[in-house]
Structure 1
């Protein structure tokens, strides 16, 4: 299974998981079967609010799941339409969140948790 983690910095397993999919500077994609890790720069970083193109952001790379702290409704629906499961990540590293995912401790993202907009500092204004 290939899991994507939006991250604030590319530091491999120690990359801090970012709080919002669309504005993450980069992604770490982990193949849980082989343990291989790939770092990808966000190819859709400067999109207009609400116009996130998740597959463009990932540079066309195929993933089975995304683990993120926050995501807009549009991006969530686009990922789900492609059969990609979105999990709600917690603050911490890729390594921390992958361990929690494997233990079944990251819930599947609910539409009730999606971002309603961005705050003054560009952060996610979760409901």
Structure 2
């Protein structure tokens, strides 16, 4: 099984569409192998295809919008959203079988420009628990 985790500075990056890197994780017979892959500036709509090209079965991320969810579903890529914290903690939960999709990872609308975040705060607004605050 191949997983892709949104990644920045050994933490789960909280905005799928703007992630600078993915940690590709292969889990076979309880054994993990890892590879860090740059998105090369690809974002939002291009990322489902990027993940498909890298043979990803499941995406693990923080916040993600409905359009990206739909694109992943069309590419037959499963989703575990709402993940946060260190990559080490996420990998431990993954290998223990306790990592689950969290609906708080849903971002209900598409944003243009800067200042958007899902499941974490920035200056302008953030999306959490199925709502958006400005």
Same fold (TM over 0.5): yes
Structure 2: gaps of 5 or more residues: 119-125
Larger radius of gyration: 2
* Residue segments in structure 1 that go unaligned for 5+ positions in a row: 10-14
Q: Distance in 1 between matches of 2:91 and 2:52?
A: 22
TM-score by length of structure 1 reads: 0.75
- Matching residue within 25, 28, 34 for 1:30: 25
CA gap 1:21/1:94 in 2 versus in 1, 3 angstroms: same
TM-score (norm 2): 0.71
> What is the total number of aligned residue pairs between the two structures?
118
- In 2: Cα distance, 1:56 partner to 1:44 partner: 14
Q: What's the RMSD between the two structures over aligned residues?
A: 2.7
Which residue of the partner structure matches residue 12 of structure 1? none
Deviations 1:60-109 (A, max 9, x none): 20111011111121111111122211102432122211222333433336
Aligned counterparts of 1:67 and 1:82: Cα–Cα separation in 2:
15
